Amino acid sequence: DDFTTLLAAIHGHRCTGDAAHDDEVYWTLRRQQHRGMLARHLPMSPFAEEFGVEVDERCGSKSGVTPGVRVDVGLVETRRRAWALAVQIEGPPDFDLSEEHPYARCIADLSRLVYEAWG
């Protein structure tokens, strides 16, 4: 709840008190290099904006991985709407920190389902 509230404030220019700063925070989220969870199945280029290509759909996120835990929070924008999503999955500690871990794949699948329903 706290993360989605923060992300909504960033998107709505109500986070830092300066719209330009909020835009910079969101730009940083959109440059996330680890795109194996929320952004994994979304039809969005992680590089288009960096090369000056105008896009209608984008995803900015921040992920985290520790043994037994996968977390990803982010903003997704499409032509139709925008939403914030935060997912954390915890289980027995393990040392598979790959994007193929079942928890990472589960978060990716959840994000895809939301996109298919709302995007």
pLDDT at position 35, please? 93
pLDDT tens-place string over residues 44-68: 988 899 899 999 999 999 999 999 9
Q: What are phi and psi of 3, to 5 degrees?
A: -65, -45
Scanning 1-119, the segments in alpha helix (DSSP H) are 2-11, 19-30, 102-118
Q: What are phi and psi of 85, to 5 degrees?
A: -140, 135
Length of the chain: 119
Q: Which two tokens stand for residue 55?
A: 């896009």
**Amino acid identity at 52:** G
Residues 54-57: contacts with CB within 8 Å, 24+ apart? 57/119
pLDDT tens-place string over residues 91-114: 999 999 899 999 999 999 999 999
pTM summary value: 0.93
pLDDT at position 86, please? 98
Nearest to 89 by CA among 60, 115, 61, 67: 67
**Amino acid identity at 36:** G
State the sign of the Cα–Cα–Cα–Cα dihedral 86, 100, 44, 26. positive
